[in-house]
Amino acid sequence: MKIRLDHVVKTFQTFRAVKDVSLEIESGELVALLGPSGSGKTTILRMVAGLEFADGGHIYFGEQDATDIPVRDRGVGFVFQHYALFPHMTVAENIAFGMEVSKTRREKAAIQVRVNELLRLVRLDGLGDRFPAQISGGQRQRVALARALAVDPKVLLLDEPFGALDANVRRELRRWLREIHSELGITTLFVTHDQEEALDLADRVVILKDGHIVQEGTPEAVCRDPKSSFVMKFLGDANMLPAEVRDGKAYADGAVIEASGLADGKAELYARPGDLDWAPTGPGIAADVSRVMDRPGGRRIIATTKDGVHLELDLEPERGVKGGDTGFVTLRRAKVFAA
Amino acid sequence: MRRNVLPGLRLSLGVTLLYVSLIVVLPLAALVFKASTLGPVDYWQIVSSSRAVASYRVTVLAALAATLFNLFFGLALAWVLVRYRFPGRRIVDAMVDLPFALPTAVAGISLTALFTTNGVFGAFLSDFGIKVAYTPLGIMIAMCFTSLPFIVRTVQPVLEDLDPALEEAAQSLGGSDWAIFRKVILPLLTPALLAGVSLSFARSLGEFGAIIFIAGNQPMSTEITALLIFIRLEEYDYQAAAAIASVLLLTAFIMLALTNWLQARALRYTARN
Amino acid sequence: MGTFRTGRTPPRVGDGVIFRRALIGIVLFLGAILILAPLLIIGVEAFAKGWQVYRDTILHPDTRHAITLTVLAALIAVPVNTTFGVAAAWAITKFDFRGKGFLLVVIEIPFSVSPIVAGVAYLFVYGLQGILGPTLDAYGIKILFAIPGIVLASMFVTAPFVARELIPLMQSQGRDLEEAATSLGASGWRTFFSVTLPNVKWALLYGVVLCNARVMGEFGAVSVVSGNIRGQTNTLPLHIELLYHDYQAAGAFASASILALIAVFTIIAKVALERQGAGRVRPAANPAENAS
């Protein structure tokens, strides 16, 4: 089921949560809505679900204008951040709920079969008789997903589905959600503030800020080609150096980077810790090592330039750099944005 | 058990125990003692006399009817107060406490004035052949008045704290309003509802002042147990009074245990996921 | 820019217009009959025979004595009950000890016991057939059929009130602040007055207001222990009964109007205090469950 948002607006009293968002999601795609809190991503998700009504614009499911259709008739499956499992029902009863209240009557036996099927799908066989309070957070989220899938939704919507879980459970469930999506192929839209999660899971990432879409594209596209300093900073660690653009080149404290297409004037140069290197001799940006932090994957160096800017570099574990060393920071890659 | 680090345990506990023993335990113990001075045979004879049994019947049936009415009315009232906005809602919410704040005797004469055959409501009802004052129906209405706040006030907080995500989830799964109410909301309200019902029932069993004006107080037909005890006292039949009072006391203890158990269950359910 | 609609929210369960209006209508209708009407009829009946009769009743010596007695009972019973309630709340919420759950149940007992049973029980302690009766009589001390008996019986019935308001609140507030104060060297009294009391003052005030309303309105228990002697041992509720049975309905309602005003004041106080944070606390857990 293809979803299309057309100039959608949502205002809460005086706060414009969503300002003119237009988006297309192809049938079967797994799309992430990524952004900081207050960016409007959850509001958009809820409008697609019908849990909020848009104040302007339209939402289309396929060819049909679904903007005014109530949530119970939209055929969406919604997974809540805090699971919203019915505490007084067992896991099996939770999953069966949608089938039992649906307008099409189903045989009790048929419902049971489907419940067991779904329990197998989410790898919770045998836990059907437990209550939500008796299972772990990760298990609860899987029940929530099974419950949403039980009604054969046209669209699957997930609101920060792994936000309330521990880091390793999160990673495991991410992998598993990707598998389920490949198996079932349902159009899926999920909201997250965790960029690693969005980049891991999604076919396409939509980055939001203050109710607007600032960039959308495949994970590769947004990582390799961020179109603004906000996206650059939001997606990962980034060092910033003030720079000056002259004749298509950006000059920053001893480094020169191609900046064709940018007008002359003040600019900001961004480089990831992994794109910087350290050399005892020039050319490069002169700096002193102020701290060395050892990590499982390597070493992170904090080097301070003569202008007092702190740069963070990631080096291989074998590099023998220590605090107090003087040297030069070189740039393998960097992005320049107008200031 | 955590170590007690704060000061004042001895003093506060001492005051508490002294007060409780003197004011609450001592009189009840005296009552039980007095009731036990009757031999088992005499005790049973008094407690099961036809007039006493009739009074139990009148009291319990009226209390059951009143509690049943309050169950629906109280639930509806709590629902309306929590989920809807309308002019005067705050005032209505405050007025629910009137039966709690108004002296029972005042309630008694007011209800009687309203429901006698020439009262505002009584006149209207007698056109349909319904008599309220001086009948068991009157007893029931008095009990409805005094016990209503219990159900409303136990249900209200639970309704207010109901996770909206649960309703949204149920809606997204395609449930109709009635299906969601029946399968999700009501089961989550039930523990609190039951606790309120048992509090309401217990209060109705023991109510005196609000009832005796409207009841008619005819032995065997409109005489509540509390009144029977009072009459035995006026007859200086202290042993009978003690015996029947002990029956009411026992019932009160049972209802207290039941209510506590139900309230504990209710709180267990309101804990969010 | 598409069409602009503002501020609609999707309907929740039970938000359908017809259902909502019908339910509100029914509820308000029944509420008016069952709760509002009894309050209003007091005013109507009190003035049914005119202002003169109203005045005469209120100013009648028996009525004035009843008022005095009622106020006196409240002036004694309420402070004592409040002290007890505060002590009990302090002991129960700030400490752990065996039997805490049992103590809580015992405190709740007066709430479930019929006031008649309470009166009878007091009879069997202080009356001539009671345990202490003959001894008291020998020393010429009158408890029953006099003010002390009335006060004691009222205290029984309203014993749980202040404690019930304070305990859930203090339970949910925990002990951290008091422990911090003590670790800084504050004495028990200092801790209580400077730390605990300010946090519970509205709930305490509400408990006191409620306790007062119930003491002044107590009927069943006081009927038994007071002896019903007109002009001497009748509290206002008993006086109302007396006038009513004497076919002086207007007089009875006139006296009732005083208590009704107090009830209305109690409700107004409750609304005001709830705004400040008193009243319906969602107990984090049943205090009895926390007893170790």
Structure tokens at B3: 């170590």
Peptide bond into A283 cis (omega under 30): yes
CA distance C2 to chain B (A): 26
pLDDT at residue A152 greater than cutoff 50:
yes
Chain A residues lying within 8 Å of B179, measured CB to CB: 101
Higher pLDDT, A209 or C142: A209
Higher pLDDT, A254 or A330: A330
Spatial separation of the C-alpha atoms in residues A277 and C225, rounded to whole Å: 95
Of A242, A253, A271, the residue nearest A339 (C-alpha): A242
Q: Which of C1, C4, C8 sits opposite A53 (nearest CB)?
A: C8
Q: In this predicted structure, what is the pLDDT of residue C285?
A: 33
List A206's β-bridge partners, or say none.
Answer: A33, A216
Mean pLDDT of A260-286: 87
Residue pLDDT tens, chain C, 292 long: 445 556 678 888 888 889 999 999 999 999 999 999 999 999 999 888 888 888 888 898 888 999 999 999 999 999 999 999 999 999 898 888 888 888 888 998 898 899 999 999 998 998 887 888 788 877 878 888 888 889 999 999 999 989 988 888 888 888 888 888 888 888 878 888 888 888 888 889 988 998 999 999 999 999 998 876 666 778 999 999 989 988 888 889 999 999 999 999 999 988 888 777 655 554 333 333 333 3
Predicted TM-score (pTM) of the model is 0.87
Chain B residues lying within 8 Å of C118, measured CB to CB: 27
Axis-axis angle for helices C236-245, C197-217 (nearest 10): 20
DSSP string over A49-97 = HTSS--SEEEEEETTEE-TTS-GGGS-EEEE-TT----TTS-HHHHHHH
Under an 8 A CB cutoff, do A56 and C1 touch? yes
Task: Look at the alpha carbons of C93, C173, B150, C267 in this order and tell me if their dihedral is positive or negative.
Answer: positive
Under an 8 A CB cutoff, do B175 and A78 touch? no
Spatial separation of the C-alpha atoms in residues A149 and B96, rounded to whole Å: 44
Neighbours of chain A (3+ CB pairs under 8 A): B, C
Q: In this predicted structure, what is the pLDDT of residue B2?
A: 57
Put simply, the chain A residues between 247 and 286 with a CB less than 8 A from any chain C CB are none
Put simply, the chain B residues between 43 and 62 with a CB less than 8 A from any chain C CB are none
Under an 8 A CB cutoff, do C83 and B177 touch? no
CA distance A94 to chain B (A): 10
What are the CA-CA distances from residue C83 to residues C90, C96, C159, C200, C213 (Å)?
A: 11, 20, 10, 14, 17
Q: In this predicted structure, what is the pLDDT of residue C221?
A: 92
Query: Which amino acid appears at position B187 of this protein?
Result: P
Widest distance between CA atoms in chain B: 70
Which residue carries 């129960």 as its tokens? Answer: C92
Long-range Cβ contacts of B215-222 (<8 Å, 24+ apart): B215/B134, B215/B138, B215/B139, B215/B142, B216/B133, B216/B134, B216/B135, B216/B138, B218/B134, B219/B51, B219/B54, B219/B55, B220/B50, B220/B51, B220/B54, B221/B54, B221/B58, B221/B136, B222/B58, B222/B134, B222/B135, B222/B136, B222/B138, B222/B139
Spatial separation of the C-alpha atoms in residues B250 and B252, rounded to whole Å: 5
Instruction: Kindly provide the residue ranges of all beta strands, DSSP E only, lying in chain A, ordered along the sequence.
Output: 3-12, 15-25, 30-34, 56-61, 64-65, 76-79, 155-159, 187-192, 204-209, 212-217, 239-246, 249-252, 255-258, 265-271, 276-279, 285-295, 298-305, 310-315, 326-331, 335-338
Q: Quick count: other Cβ atoms within 10 Å of Cβ B106?
A: 30
Q: In this predicted structure, what is the pLDDT of residue B167?
A: 95
Q: In this predicted structure, what is the pLDDT of residue C157?
A: 92
Q: What is the pLDDT of residues A65-113, one digit of tens each?
A: 999 899 999 999 999 999 999 999 999 999 999 999 987 778 889 999 9
For C131, which DSSP code?
S
Q: Which of C27, C95, C270 sits opposite B94 (nearest CB)?
A: C270
Taking a C-beta distance cutoff of 8 angstroms, is the pair B137, B211 a contact? no
Q: Which of A70, A87, A103 sits opposite B269 (nearest CB)?
A: A87
Taking a C-beta distance cutoff of 8 angstroms, is the pair C212, C94 a contact? no
DSSP string over C225-262 = HHTT-TTTT--HHHHHHHHHHTT-HHHHHHHHHHHHHH
Q: Quick count: other Cβ atoms within 10 Å of Cβ C24?
A: 19
Structure tokens at C87: 């002590």
Sheet of A326-331: strand order equals A276-279, A326-331, A285-295, A298-305, A310-315
Under an 8 A CB cutoff, do B174 and A88 touch? no
CA distance A250 to chain C (A): 40
Residue pLDDT tens, chain B, 273 long: 456 778 888 888 889 999 999 999 999 999 999 888 888 999 999 999 999 999 999 999 999 999 999 999 999 999 999 999 999 898 899 999 999 899 999 999 999 999 998 888 999 998 888 889 899 999 999 999 999 999 999 899 889 989 999 999 999 999 899 999 999 999 999 988 998 999 899 999 999 999 999 998 888 889 999 999 999 988 888 889 999 999 999 999 998 888 888 877 766 655 443
Pure H helices in chain B: 9-19, 26-36, 40-47, 50-83, 89-95, 98-101, 104-115, 120-126, 136-160, 164-172, 177-180, 186-206, 209-212, 225-234, 238-270
Under an 8 A CB cutoff, do A53 and C4 touch? no
Q: What is the pLDDT of residues A179-197, one digit of tens each?
A: 999 999 999 999 999 999 9
ipTM: 0.88
Tell me which of B173, B185, B189 to substitute to probe the interface with A (most A C-beta atoms closer than 10 Å).
Answer: B173
Chain A residues lying within 8 Å of B169, measured CB to CB: 78, 80, 84, 86, 147
Query: Which amino acid appears at position C164 of this protein?
Result: R
Under an 8 A CB cutoff, do A71 and C10 touch? yes
Under an 8 A CB cutoff, do B170 and A97 touch? yes
Pairing verdict, β A3-12 and A285-295: unpaired
Q: In this predicted structure, what is the pLDDT of residue B268?
A: 67
Under an 8 A CB cutoff, do C3 and A51 touch? no
* Helix (H) or strand (E) segment spanning residue C185: none
Under an 8 A CB cutoff, do A55 and C11 touch? no
Put simply, the chain A residues between 119 and 158 with a CB less than 8 A from any chain B CB are 132-133, 140, 147-148, 150-151
Under an 8 A CB cutoff, do B11 and C87 touch? yes
Chain C residues lying within 8 Å of A71, measured CB to CB: 10
pLDDT at residue A264 greater than cutoff 90:
no
CA distance C11 to chain A (A): 9
Q: What is the pLDDT of residues B11-29, one digit of tens each?
A: 888 899 999 999 999 999 9
